Amino acid sequence: MDDLRWLSTRELAARIAAKEISAREALTVQLRRIDEVNPAINAVVTRDDDRAMAEATAADEALAAGEEVGVLHGVPMTHKDTHDTAGMRTTWGSPIMADRVPEADSLIIARLRRAGVITSGKTNVPEFAAGSHTFNPVFGTTRNPYDLTKSASGSSGGVGAALAAGIQASGDGSDMGGSLRSPGSFNNVVGFRPSNGRIPHTRPGNPFAWLAQSGFMARTVSDVALLMSVASGPEPGAPASLPDPGSVFDLPEFRLGAEADPQLTGVRIGFSPDLGGLLPLDPEVREIVSGTAAVLSGLGARVADTIPDLSDADEVFTVRRALDFVGFWGSLLETERDRMKDSVVWNIEQGLRLTGAEVASAETARARLSAEVEGFFADHDVLVLTTCQVLPFDTGLEYPTEIDGVAMESYLDWMRALCLISATGCPAISVPAGFSDSGLPVGVQFVAQPGDDVRLLSIAHAFEQATRVSARHPEIPAAGPQDLS
């Protein structure tokens, strides 16, 4: 059964539906793989094997009885530890919420479970999902399967490491400043941030939120599309919902058995690894991402050195993120400050210090940025740039303090290639692009206009099919974190 570790989600679901394997067998393989590799990578932080096996048994019985089942029926999956799972703790990596057990699933989890997913555990995140390196005082540090001394990034770092290590083929996550795309790049998998409203924001919480988005990571673009097909679509009580049903993601080229014939004929691409010099890049990252232009041209795309003016994006992102941190966690600051990491306190206090004039200025900047993005995509189908400006860095660092000789002033600066895109509201996806000389993964970021998620996935899929970089898997030594320097 061990070959199940590297099947795609589509393949695994199809084999379960055809009764070639059972849901219990699929779960057994997943749990065995967690036992094998998780002591080294620390990706899965909460498990409930008994509950998962009971759900898998019920799934097999339903299939045997001929009941109508969902497209992910019997597929085992761990979930990001920021998404509420009914009856299973959701901690956000914080000592303040270490024992919190939600009574209801968040929307993305509820939709996955309606499609048949078996919930087997939770994956690690940074404290309050702040920052793109996965470590916290509750569960410790998640390590990169390609090099156990390196970061798996974050905040969906546990998900990314689990995928790369063969624990599962796809999983849910979220992305405010790059938290799906960055771990996608660091772990040689795909990370997709959808347009606002694809997976709607609902109550409790702010249904009008727009900066942070729930989304998916997977080892293939096709699996991202499959999960989007079951998790996206309008929802009552979610006023920002996009009206399209999830079925819009069910394109023929994503289905099992589709012939691989990648073509991007006529696709108009604006290409700049560093956004015209705006971003400092590690030299190896620059070289690998620059090389993707030839691949895109070879597929028939029209690649030009043109980019939108994103000069307003820093202000938009910084102000909106600070306000959201006040909304999410501001009430804890007075009573729990000593149990919150410094970067979280800093971000909340940034929001509390904002004046009305500063908020109004950021809203005006957002309007200018929206007009700039609209104008750019009138003449281009996608923007292509680097995903992460650095290679996976040492786990002992909180964040990189310099890139190619340029100092980083805060824990967000090294993520600027991601944060700037988040501010635009555009859907964006990171796809594996290559490896450094030392064997560390590098991703390339594709960006489309708001609402053009399906087209974006189609373009990313063609690039993925042409390169096949994601087919390279890590070799994880049988060692726990205590054995690592």
The β-bridge partners of 174 are 214
Chain position carrying tokens 């000593």:
338
The answer to whether 187 and 146 are in contact (CB under 8 A) is yes
3-class secondary-structure state, position 65? coil
> For residue 415, which of 272, 318, 322, 312 has the smallest C-alpha distance?
318
State the catalytic residue, choosing from 22, 80, 174, 343.
80
State the catalytic residue, choosing from 94, 132, 179, 229.
179
- Whole-angstrom CA distances from 203 to 65, 200, 322, 395, 416 are 37, 10, 21, 36, 30
Residue positions counted in the chain: 485
Compute the 3-state secondary structure of the chain and give helix, strand, coil in percent, each to the nearest 5. Answer: 40, 15, 40
The answer to whether 419 and 425 are in contact (CB under 8 A) is no
Identity of residue 34 = I
Identity of residue 7 = L
Encoded tokens for 473: 């898997």
Alpha-carbon distance of 396 to 394, in angstroms, equals 5
3-class secondary-structure state, position 103? coil
Alpha-carbon distance of 114 to 86, in angstroms, equals 13
The answer to whether 242 and 198 are in contact (CB under 8 A) is yes
Longest dimension (CA), the chain: 64
State the catalytic residue, choosing from 120, 132, 153, 155.
155
Encoded tokens for 332: 């804890």
Catalytic: 80?
yes
Alpha-carbon distance of 429 to 193, in angstroms, equals 6
Tell whether omega for the bond before 155 is within 30 degrees of 0, i.e. cis: yes
Helix (H) or strand (E) holding 423: helix 416-424
The residues that are catalytic are: 80, 155, 179
